[in-house]
Every structure is written in structure tokens, then in C-alpha cells.
Structure 1
């Protein structure tokens, strides 16, 4: 009961797929694709040396090309801001005087507690201010 080389390559590809699922490291997936390429080479009658070369070449090429692209996509911020991230940079209207110790603003149709970013600044009712950040349930404005 002799098992063909291409079957061993497919077993190797499946074995490399297990850590891919468990660790979410895409490199294992790229090695697994390389093993499938080795299986195809074996199935087409390529020798052992050629199978290993194809495995290595495909794996290295995928890691060299796909990994930087994936890292670039992972580091990009999402274009759609939600929650408090969507409130940063918005304009609000002062309802009650806002200074370093507090106040109230109307932001996105809701009333928020607010404080000024610059402790020496104060903003009177009716004035428009820009939201710099959200600190807990308080908008920091300038």
C-alpha cells in the first residue's frame, strides 16, 4: 500500500491549514497553498526536487506579495466612523457656559456635558464650538 507523493502534499496542505485556523496567521495558509502547488507538480509527474522547488517558490512568492498587502489593509482606519469617533470634529452649540470646569452643549441633536480644551477659555451660550474629543460622557471643545 504505497501512497503517491501528491497525497502526501495534500496531507501537508491540510496539516498547515489547521494552525491557520487556530492561530489566524495567514502565513500558514500561504504555505498550505504552496503544498497544494507541490501536490499538483507531483500529480503531473514532477520529481521530488521539482516538487520541493515549486512548494518553496509558491510559498515565498505568496508571503512576499500577499503579506505586505494584508498588513497595509490591516493598518488602515475604517472610513466610516461610528459612535463617539463620529462626533470628533463636529460642530456643537453651547447651551450653558462652557469653561474648564464644565458646561452644556447640543451635539448631534443631543445635550452633552462639555468642558473647554484650553483651561483659560470659556464659551458663552449660543456660540458654536468644535468637538476635539469625547472623554467618557463629556465633550472636550474649543
Structure 2
């Protein structure tokens, strides 16, 4: 009946993997299946744990990177929230300096800070170079 514990652990880890979606717990589930196989071959409990641990580590460092690479190739990463605003254009509403200012970005007024020492006047088109907390760090758009 020892193999049932291993299969039960693999099932629980598989279910938890469905909630986390980072492919770490799936590798541990694979280790638990290897522990069940070791049980079937008559290994002692310490050997079963060693087999499960080694299999998990091998899967983590070999199979997981390969799976992540192929998943990302099939499904591109879509930036959301503030990260999606990087690279977008905005219009300066009030003069932006290294200390602060305001820009209209994506239909909303954001606090902003200039990436360079020069002040950026209202009406100037700028591009968001990064988001720092709730502040858009901007640079003037060349040729605008």
C-alpha cells in the first residue's frame, strides 16, 4: 500500500500545479511517481525518498526549462497593468522635470518624471521609458 501514498502525493501536487502554473510542482509530482516506481521494485523507504528527490531535481533542471521555453514560444508574454504602458506615447500636461510633472497617458493623467535633466514643456509628446511606482518616467519623442 506504500505506492498509494506516492500516487496520492503526485495527484495532490498535480492539482496544486494547476493552481500555480509554474511547472515546479509538476516536477515534484514526477518525483513522486518515481518514488512509487521505486516502491514497486522493492526499494526501502529511504531509497524511495532519494529516488523521488533526485528525479524531482533532474526534472526541475532539465525538463522544466525546456517546457517553459516551448510554452513561451507558443504563447507570447502579454504585458499587463503598468508594465504594458512602457513604450507608449503620452502628452505632457504640466511641465515635467526630474522632480515631477504630469502627462496624459492612455487616457489618464499620470504623475511623471523626466529621464533627463531638461524640462519638458506642456503639449510635448513623450514616450514612457519605465514605470517607477506610480510615476511614469518619460523621454521626449524625437521628431515629434
**Which range, TM-score by smaller chain?**
0.5 to 0.7
**Partner SS for 2:121:** coil
Change over 3 Å in CA distance of 1:37–1:69 after alignment to 2 = same
- Residues 10, 35 of structure 1: 8 Å contact kept: no
Map Cα deviations across residues 6-57 of structure 1 (whole Å, 9 max, x no partner): x44334433x438846xx6444311222355568xx6xxxx759xx9xxx6x
1:79-118 equivalences in 2 (<5 Å): 79-118=77-116
Task: Give aligned pairs, total.
Answer: 118
Counterpart residue number, 1:10: 4
Counterpart residue number, 1:30: 30
Counterpart residue number, 1:123: 120
Change over 3 Å in CA distance of 1:18–1:128 after alignment to 2 = same
**Partner SS for 1:99:** coil
RMSD: 3.8
Deviation of 1:100 (Å) = 1.7
Partner Cα distance (2:131, 2:55) in 1:
45
Counterpart residue number, 2:129: 132
- Residues 98, 113 of structure 2: 8 Å contact kept: yes
**Partner SS for 2:77:** coil
- Residues 131, 141 of structure 1: 8 Å contact kept: yes
Unaligned runs of 5+ in 2: 17-23, 140-144
| Structure exhibiting the larger radius of gyration computed from Cα positions | 1
- In the superposition, the TM-score normalised over structure 1's length comes to 0.59
- In the superposition, the TM-score normalised over structure 2's length comes to 0.59
- Residues 6, 33 of structure 2: 8 Å contact kept: no
